[in-house]
Amino acid sequence: MSIFHSMNTTASALTSQRLRMDVISSNMANVDTTRGRLVNGEWEPYRRKSVTLKPLEGQFSSFLNVAVGHSSKGQVGDGVKVSRINEDRETPFKLVFDPSHPDADENGYVEMPNVDPLREMVDLISATRSYEANVTVFNANKAMLTKALEIGK
Protein backbone atom coordinates (compact mmCIF):
# COMPACT_ATOMS: atom_id res chain seq x y z
CA MET A 1 0.00 0.00 0.00
CA SER A 2 1.33 3.41 -0.97
CA ILE A 3 1.70 6.28 1.46
CA PHE A 4 -0.68 8.19 -0.80
CA HIS A 5 -3.33 5.43 -0.98
CA SER A 6 -5.74 7.19 1.36
CA MET A 7 -5.28 10.47 -0.50
CA ASN A 8 -6.03 8.75 -3.82
CA THR A 9 -9.10 7.09 -2.31
CA THR A 10 -10.39 10.40 -0.98
CA ALA A 11 -9.60 12.18 -4.24
CA SER A 12 -11.70 9.65 -6.16
CA ALA A 13 -14.63 10.35 -3.82
CA LEU A 14 -14.18 14.10 -4.27
CA THR A 15 -14.20 13.75 -8.05
CA SER A 16 -17.29 11.52 -8.00
CA GLN A 17 -19.24 13.80 -5.65
CA ARG A 18 -18.31 16.83 -7.73
CA LEU A 19 -19.74 15.17 -10.84
CA ARG A 20 -22.84 14.24 -8.85
CA MET A 21 -23.29 17.92 -7.87
CA ASP A 22 -22.85 18.95 -11.52
CA VAL A 23 -25.56 16.52 -12.66
CA ILE A 24 -27.92 17.77 -9.94
CA SER A 25 -27.22 21.36 -11.03
CA SER A 26 -28.05 20.40 -14.59
CA ASN A 27 -31.35 18.90 -13.42
CA MET A 28 -32.23 22.11 -11.55
CA ALA A 29 -31.27 24.27 -14.52
CA ASN A 30 -33.59 22.28 -16.80
CA VAL A 31 -36.60 22.05 -14.49
CA ASP A 32 -38.70 24.01 -17.03
CA THR A 33 -37.12 22.75 -20.28
CA THR A 34 -39.88 21.35 -22.48
CA ARG A 35 -37.58 20.80 -25.45
CA GLY A 36 -34.79 18.67 -24.06
CA ARG A 37 -34.23 16.21 -26.89
CA LEU A 38 -35.59 15.50 -30.34
CA VAL A 39 -37.09 11.97 -30.48
CA ASN A 40 -38.66 10.66 -33.67
CA GLY A 41 -39.11 14.18 -35.00
CA GLU A 42 -40.84 15.47 -31.85
CA TRP A 43 -39.45 17.33 -28.87
CA GLU A 44 -39.34 15.50 -25.56
CA PRO A 45 -38.98 17.31 -22.22
CA TYR A 46 -35.72 17.09 -20.31
CA ARG A 47 -35.36 13.85 -18.36
CA ARG A 48 -33.93 13.82 -14.85
CA LYS A 49 -30.43 12.38 -14.65
CA SER A 50 -28.79 10.62 -11.71
CA VAL A 51 -25.30 9.33 -11.00
CA THR A 52 -24.49 5.73 -10.11
CA LEU A 53 -21.31 5.20 -8.11
CA LYS A 54 -19.43 1.96 -7.68
CA PRO A 55 -16.30 0.98 -5.78
CA LEU A 56 -13.00 0.83 -7.61
CA GLU A 57 -12.10 -2.82 -7.79
CA GLY A 58 -9.96 -5.01 -9.90
CA GLN A 59 -6.93 -2.77 -9.94
CA PHE A 60 -3.53 -4.39 -9.80
CA SER A 61 -2.60 -2.71 -6.51
CA SER A 62 -5.59 -4.23 -4.70
CA PHE A 63 -4.77 -7.74 -5.97
CA LEU A 64 -1.12 -7.27 -5.02
CA ASN A 65 -2.01 -6.14 -1.49
CA VAL A 66 -4.19 -9.21 -1.01
CA ALA A 67 -1.48 -11.49 -2.43
CA VAL A 68 1.24 -10.16 -0.12
CA GLY A 69 -1.07 -10.32 2.86
CA HIS A 70 -1.31 -6.56 3.49
CA SER A 71 -5.06 -6.79 3.33
CA SER A 72 -7.79 -9.32 3.04
CA LYS A 73 -10.44 -9.00 0.39
CA GLY A 74 -12.93 -6.26 1.16
CA GLN A 75 -11.02 -4.51 3.95
CA VAL A 76 -8.94 -1.95 2.07
CA GLY A 77 -10.93 0.32 -0.20
CA ASP A 78 -9.53 1.64 -3.44
CA GLY A 79 -11.99 4.46 -3.84
CA VAL A 80 -15.09 5.06 -5.87
CA LYS A 81 -15.89 5.95 -9.46
CA VAL A 82 -18.92 6.96 -11.48
CA SER A 83 -20.15 3.87 -13.28
CA ARG A 84 -22.83 5.66 -15.27
CA ILE A 85 -25.18 8.61 -15.55
CA ASN A 86 -28.76 7.37 -15.81
CA GLU A 87 -31.83 9.04 -17.29
CA ASP A 88 -34.99 8.60 -15.25
CA ARG A 89 -37.33 6.83 -17.68
CA GLU A 90 -39.70 5.48 -15.02
CA THR A 91 -41.02 8.73 -13.58
CA PRO A 92 -43.62 10.19 -15.95
CA PHE A 93 -43.48 13.76 -17.20
CA LYS A 94 -45.68 16.26 -15.37
CA LEU A 95 -48.70 17.55 -17.26
CA VAL A 96 -49.39 21.25 -16.78
CA PHE A 97 -52.43 23.01 -18.23
CA ASP A 98 -51.17 26.01 -20.20
CA PRO A 99 -52.95 26.45 -23.56
CA SER A 100 -50.83 29.51 -24.41
CA HIS A 101 -47.54 27.55 -24.22
CA PRO A 102 -46.00 26.82 -27.66
CA ASP A 103 -45.56 23.12 -26.75
CA ALA A 104 -49.14 22.60 -25.55
CA ASP A 105 -51.06 19.70 -27.06
CA GLU A 106 -54.56 19.98 -28.56
CA ASN A 107 -56.07 19.82 -25.03
CA GLY A 108 -53.84 22.62 -23.72
CA TYR A 109 -51.51 20.43 -21.64
CA VAL A 110 -47.75 20.75 -21.68
CA GLU A 111 -45.41 17.91 -20.73
CA MET A 112 -42.89 19.23 -18.22
CA PRO A 113 -39.64 17.52 -17.11
CA ASN A 114 -39.79 14.82 -14.44
CA VAL A 115 -37.49 16.85 -12.17
CA ASP A 116 -38.64 17.42 -8.58
CA PRO A 117 -36.76 20.46 -7.16
CA LEU A 118 -37.24 19.26 -3.57
CA ARG A 119 -35.68 15.87 -4.34
CA GLU A 120 -32.83 17.58 -6.18
CA MET A 121 -32.12 19.84 -3.20
CA VAL A 122 -32.02 16.86 -0.84
CA ASP A 123 -29.63 15.07 -3.20
CA LEU A 124 -27.52 18.22 -3.49
CA ILE A 125 -27.26 18.57 0.28
CA SER A 126 -26.24 14.91 0.53
CA ALA A 127 -23.58 15.29 -2.16
CA THR A 128 -22.29 18.51 -0.58
CA ARG A 129 -22.00 16.92 2.87
CA SER A 130 -20.18 13.94 1.42
CA TYR A 131 -17.83 16.26 -0.45
CA GLU A 132 -17.15 18.29 2.71
CA ALA A 133 -16.48 15.12 4.73
CA ASN A 134 -13.98 13.94 2.13
CA VAL A 135 -12.23 17.34 2.13
CA THR A 136 -11.88 16.99 5.92
CA VAL A 137 -10.42 13.48 5.52
CA PHE A 138 -8.03 14.70 2.84
CA ASN A 139 -6.81 17.59 4.99
CA ALA A 140 -6.37 15.34 8.05
CA ASN A 141 -4.35 12.90 5.97
CA LYS A 142 -2.24 15.72 4.59
CA ALA A 143 -1.58 16.98 8.13
CA MET A 144 -0.53 13.48 9.27
CA LEU A 145 1.85 13.10 6.34
CA THR A 146 3.34 16.53 7.05
CA LYS A 147 3.91 15.58 10.71
CA ALA A 148 5.50 12.30 9.60
CA LEU A 149 7.92 14.24 7.39
CA GLU A 150 8.78 16.53 10.29
CA ILE A 151 9.81 13.51 12.36
CA GLY A 152 12.59 12.82 9.88
CA LYS A 153 14.20 16.24 10.38
Q: In this structure, are 101 and 149 located in the same domain?
A: no
Based on the domain organization, do 23 and 73 belong to the same domain? yes
Whether residues 105 and 95 share a domain: the answer is yes
Residues 95 and 148 in one domain: no
Both 77 and 56 in one domain: the answer is: yes
Same domain, 4 and 53: yes
Give the pLDDT confidence score for residue 2 in this predicted structure.
75
Residues with Cβ within 8 Å of 134's Cβ and at least 6 positions away in sequence, in order, are 10, 13, 14, 17
Domain match, 59 and 82 both: yes
Question: What whole-number distance in Å separates Cα of residue 77 and Cα of residue 49?
Answer: 27
The number of folded domains in the chain is 2
Instruction: Tell me: do 96 and 152 sit in the same domain.
Output: no
Q: Are residues 83 and 120 in the same domain?
A: yes
User: Nearest 10 degrees: CA dihedral of 98, 102, 103, 108?
Assistant: 30
In angstroms, the CA 127 to CA 100 distance is 38
- Is there a contact between 21 and 130 (Cβ–Cβ < 8 Å)? no
Range of the structural domain that residue 99 is part of: 32-48+90-114
* Amino acid 110: pLDDT: 95
pLDDT along the chain (153 residues), means of 10: 83 96 97 89 93 81 67 66 94 94 93 96 97 95 90 79
Q: Are residues 136 and 125 in the same domain?
A: yes
User: Do residues 82 and 95 both lie within one domain?
Assistant: no
- My answer on whether 24 and 68 are in the same domain is yes
Q: What pLDDT is recorded for position 65?
A: 66
CB distance 116 to 30 below 8 Å: no
